[in-house]
Amino acid sequence: MQQSGEGYIIKIRNHGEKSAIVTVVCPKLGKMVGYVQGALSKRNLGIYQLGNLISFNAYARVEENMRTFKGVELVAAHTADFVLDSHKTSALASMCRLLDSCVAENDDLGSLFNIIDDFFKHINEDNWLVYYSFFEFHLLEFLGIGLDIDQCAVTGVREDLRYISPKTGRAVCAAIGAPYHDKLYAYPHYIVEHNYMPANNDIINVLEMTGNFLSKNFLRQHNLQLPENRADLLRILTLAPKM
């Protein structure tokens, strides 16, 4: 069996002295795991770094066997985008850990790959963290635990949606939610409207909300936790006056 594709590296695990087990996420092939001989040699260290986009040929005798990656080439290097910025490194580590924990091998990522791709393409812009928040929001949808935000859960109206219930993940309109506003998440307007320049408080709200639903509806069921690095993202948003 042979497959070819491109993907972002999300995990590298040493195997022997200079080889590695490498995990990538690809647009159609999904999450793939493969053995790479000599991946950790001095010549290849620049290729096998988290976040780098590579092209490869994957080989396996039968579908159940681990693949071997050969003919690997670096398509886009992102090491320099992260190595000197601890906050961006935290976001990269969090994204990689969530993808490795939540995505099953060989699952087609569909539109989620485009969201991941956007994060890397905009990592050097001031609003790079907004793209990370889009990733977590759409990861919920990919996992089948997305939020129901098209209409008010109580009245059915589609106008003036203002809140999200932390219990059900359903939208609540302003009139119904106002008495309980301190117990509800704010409605994620910037996600729905594809606004990539929201206020920091709006990003914090979305990350707190996605963190809650990822933990409650997926991670805990698999005895997993949110990545430790993720807490750094909320800290920088709280302390920074703007992105």
Burial status of residue 23 (CB atoms within 10 A of its CB: 0-12, 13-18, 19 or more): buried
Are residues 109 and 9 located together in one domain of the fold? no
| CA-closest candidate to residue 14, choices 31, 33, 39 | 39
- The last residue of a domain, from among 20, 49, 77: 77
For position 240, what pLDDT does the model report? Answer: 67
Q: Beta strands 2-15 and 30-36: pairing type?
A: unpaired
Task: Write the CATH number for 36.
Answer: 2.40.50.140
Are residues 220 and 102 located together in one domain of the fold? yes
Are residues 46 and 90 located together in one domain of the fold? no
Q: Which range marks the domain in which residue 40 is found? A: 2-77
- Rg of the Cα trace of the chain? 20
Is 166 inside any structural domain?
A: no
Are residues 91 and 199 located together in one domain of the fold? yes
Ramachandran assignment for 211, one of left (phi > 0), alpha (psi -120 to 50 degrees), beta (any other): alpha
Mean pLDDT, the chain, integer: 95
pLDDT band (50, 70, 90) for residue 243: very low
Residue 93 has pLDDT above 80, yes or no: yes
- The last residue of a domain, from among 56, 77, 98: 77
For position 239, what pLDDT does the model report? Answer: 80
Is 96 inside any structural domain?
A: yes
Are residues 125 and 53 located together in one domain of the fold? no
Is 13 inside any structural domain?
A: yes
Give the total number of structural domains in the chain: 2
| CA-closest candidate to residue 141, choices 229, 39, 210 | 210
The tens digit of pLDDT for each residue in 9-19 reads 999 999 989 99
- The last residue of a domain, from among 48, 77, 106: 77
Is 105 inside any structural domain?
A: yes
For position 162, what pLDDT does the model report? Answer: 98
Report the distance separating Cα 206 and Cα 4, nearest Å.
36
pTM of the entire structure? 0.95
Report the distance separating Cα 83 and Cα 188, nearest Å.
31
Are residues 139 and 220 located together in one domain of the fold? yes
For position 61, what pLDDT does the model report? Answer: 81
Are residues 56 and 93 located together in one domain of the fold? no
**Residue written as tokens 């935000």?**
149
For position 40, what pLDDT does the model report? Answer: 94
Mean pLDDT of 131-147: 97
Name the 3-class secondary structure at 122.
coil
Q: Any idea which of 55-69, 124-138, 229-243 has the lowest mean pLDDT?
A: 229-243
Mean pLDDT of 124-134: 97
The tens digit of pLDDT for each residue in 168-179 reads 999 999 999 999
Phi, psi of 124 (to 5 degrees): -100, 10
The CA–CA distances, whole Å, from 168 to 28, 184, 220 equal 31, 11, 17
The tens digit of pLDDT for each residue in 183-205 reads 999 999 999 999 999 999 999 99
Name the 3-class secondary structure at 194.
coil
Are residues 39 and 64 located together in one domain of the fold? yes
Are residues 136 and 208 located together in one domain of the fold? yes
The tens digit of pLDDT for each residue in 20-59 reads 999 999 998 999 999 999 999 999 989 999 999 999 999 9
Are residues 230 and 199 located together in one domain of the fold? yes
Are residues 198 and 139 located together in one domain of the fold? yes
Mean pLDDT of 70-92: 95
Are residues 37 and 87 located together in one domain of the fold? no
> Bridge-partner residues for 3, per DSSP?
58
Name the 3-class secondary structure at 107.
coil
For position 241, what pLDDT does the model report? Answer: 59
